[in-house]
Chains A and B, each alone.
Chain A
Amino acid sequence: MTKYFGVAIDDIFNSMAERFRPEGAADVDVKVGYDIREFGKRKLVISNRKMSLEKTDDLSDCNAVIKTDERTFVGVTVGKIETMEAIIALKFRVKGDQGVLALLPRLFLKLSTQEKDVKQEQELLVLKKVISVKQKFATGPVMGKFLKGLKEEKVLAIKCPECGRLQSPPREVCAICRVKNTEWVEVGPEGELRMLEYCYYASPDPLTGETRETPYGAIGVLLDKCKDEEVFWHLLNPAHLDRVKMGIVLGEKVIKGTRLRPVWSENRTGSINDIKYFEIAE
């Protein structure tokens, strides 16, 4: 016999006669059908302060029929499942006189489940893993030239032949003028801090698979020979995070930002990590 919430459905029906309260059944004359899936049908007859329960397939003369499944029935009876929730979930239905639901608790004492309430604490398993996926990024001719420049400690920018703006890292076309960029210019490598973002959440670096220490500073540096919004994005030396000032141009008003210089890696391979980070130049 399957037990739900530590109670077998037979316990409920077998104890009904003991739990019956004749004082609650005064003036009550009702026939209640139980149609329980996986279990079967029962008919409860209450009249003259007496109850009788019979196993039958004919529930046609009942005032109300409760249709549910075994688990829900046990859960509702022992109070582990809210009746309203079960009704909303369409797991518990009353056909006929809905009033019997309010009537039943008056007719029977609650099923004692004291000893059965002792539930073993279950061990729940949690698995923490890191999947590592190897990948390759193709540079293409334009980004390739830029990254090769970094290997030689040069920062290259590409110039739009129409509007003259510089882009670094370079793009093959100028997205504003929609023309192919052709001319290369060496910029920097020192510059002025224009933008600083404190990052408190680091996602894994797609080149190394490692996650940076937080907080770190993502910075926009206006490299020498560049102007306006032609900033170069990189990292700031974490030790200098609180010692730098952002520069800004507001119409006539110009605030100079901290001068920064790149720190080059010793083993340069032609990747963006050839610059470790920028640090204060003075």
Chain B
Amino acid sequence: MKKEKDFDINNCYTISGKLALPYTYFAGRTGSTFITHIRDNKKIMGVRCNHCNKVFIPPRQTCEKCLSMISDNWVELENQGEILNYTVVRYDDNHLPRKAPFILAMIKLGKADTPVIHIVEGISINDVKEGLKVKAVFAEKTTNTILDIDHFEPV
């Protein structure tokens, strides 16, 4: 192995680039119903599998356990729930919804069997804990995304 540098590093430098990735995301029938309910009625909806007796949120077309079609069985969930687990995002990136640091938590809403992941505000990152009761705060301006729930805050 050669150890000494056998080339002129004066000619080595970096060039900045910017990669743009255009994409189109289609929410589908079930996903669209979910978002439009949040936007228009301020209601968070899940779907129930009557066979497995599970309530899923975000809603999906088929039950992940028994694979039966469940997209018609809409149930309304409460707008509040408790934090099952959380993380603190400590870096900034332009795809992130908030400036760091902010809290992302898994929130179990009422009778739902699966948690939703969302931003928690109104509490310091040192005070957040599992089991904390939080409620949804809806966005004033719609973006037609899950961010129509702006964030969750402690009850």
Identify the A interface with B (CB < 8 A): 2-4, 37-38, 69-71, 122-142, 144-145, 147-148, 204, 206-211, 269-271
Distance to closest chain B CB from A61 (angstroms): 28
Asked if B91 is at the interface (CB within 8 A of a chain A CB), the reply is no
Residues in chain B near residue A129, CB distance under 8 A: 22-23, 25
Q: Can you pick out 12 interface pairs between chain A and chain B where the beta carbons lie within 8 Å of each other?
A: A37-B51, A123-B36, A125-B35, A127-B144, A131-B21, A131-B95, A135-B18, A136-B17, A141-B8, A142-B11, A209-B19, A271-B15
User: Which listed residue (B13, B18, B73, B94) contacts A208, Cβ 8 A?
Assistant: B18
Distance to closest chain B CB from A205 (angstroms): 8
B26-53 near A? 1/0 per residue, CB < 8 Å: 1111011101100000000000001100
Which residues of B64-114 are within 8 A (CB) of A? Answer: 68-69, 72-73, 94-95
Q: In this complex, what residue of B is CB-closest to A134?
A: B18
Distance to closest chain B CB from A143 (angstroms): 8
Q: In this complex, what residue of A is CB-closest to B67?
A: A91
Q: Considering the chains assembled together, what is the distance between the CA atoms of A156 and B32 in angstroms?
A: 56
Residues in chain A near residue B69, CB distance under 8 A: 71
- Asked, given contacts A38-B50, A71-B69, A141-B7, whether A132 binds B13 with beta carbons under 8 Å apart, the answer is no
- Asked, given contacts A38-B51, A122-B33, A124-B29, whether A207 binds B14 with beta carbons under 8 Å apart, the answer is no
User: Which listed residue (A122, A126, A134, A139) contacts B29, Cβ 8 A?
Assistant: A122
Residues in chain A near residue B32, CB distance under 8 A: 122-125
Distance to closest chain A CB from B10 (angstroms): 8
Q: Considering the chains assembled together, what is the distance between the CA atoms of A130 and B95 in angstroms?
A: 10
- Asked, given contacts A144-B13, A207-B17, whether A128 binds B36 with beta carbons under 8 Å apart, the answer is no
Identify the B interface with A (CB < 8 A): 7-9, 11-29, 31-33, 35-36, 50-51, 68-69, 72-73, 94-95, 144-145
Contact A204 B50 (CB under 8 A): no
- Asked, given contacts A4-B72, A124-B27, A131-B95, whether A270 binds B13 with beta carbons under 8 Å apart, the answer is yes
- Asked, given contacts A131-B95, A132-B94, whether A138 binds B24 with beta carbons under 8 Å apart, the answer is no
Residues in chain A near residue B14, CB distance under 8 A: 136-139
Q: Considering the chains assembled together, what is the distance between the CA atoms of A269 and B25 in angstroms?
A: 37
Distance to closest chain B CB from A78 (angstroms): 14
Distance to closest chain A CB from B58 (angstroms): 13
Residues in chain B near residue A128, CB distance under 8 A: 22-25
Q: Which of B20, B24, B73 has the most CB of A within 10 A?
A: B20
Residues in chain B near residue A4, CB distance under 8 A: 72
Distance to closest chain B CB from A242 (angstroms): 29
- Asked, given contacts A3-B72, A4-B72, whether A270 binds B27 with beta carbons under 8 Å apart, the answer is no
Residues in chain B near residue A122, CB distance under 8 A: 29, 32-33
- Asked, given contacts A127-B24, A129-B22, whether A136 binds B16 with beta carbons under 8 Å apart, the answer is yes
Distance to closest chain A CB from B51 (angstroms): 5
Distance to closest chain A CB from B62 (angstroms): 11
Contact A145 B15 (CB under 8 A): no
Taking A37-B68, A125-B144, A130-B20 as given, write out 6 further A-B residue pairs in contact, using a Cβ cutoff of 8 Å, ordered by the A residue number: A71-B72, A122-B32, A125-B26, A126-B27, A136-B14, A210-B20
Contact A140 B15 (CB under 8 A): no
Distance to closest chain B CB from A128 (angstroms): 5
Q: Which of A137, A144, A211 has the most CB of B within 10 A?
A: A144
Residues in chain A near residue B94, CB distance under 8 A: 132
Q: Considering the chains assembled together, what is the distance between the CA atoms of A196 and B83 in angstroms?
A: 61
Residues in chain A near residue B7, CB distance under 8 A: 141
Residues in chain A near residue B36, CB distance under 8 A: 123, 125
Q: Considering the chains assembled together, what is the distance between the CA atoms of A3 and B72 in angstroms?
A: 8
Residues in chain A near residue B26, CB distance under 8 A: 124-127
Contact B25 A207 (CB under 8 A): no
Contact B12 A140 (CB under 8 A): yes
User: Which listed residue (A123, A125, A132, A271) contacts B18, Cβ 8 A?
Assistant: A132
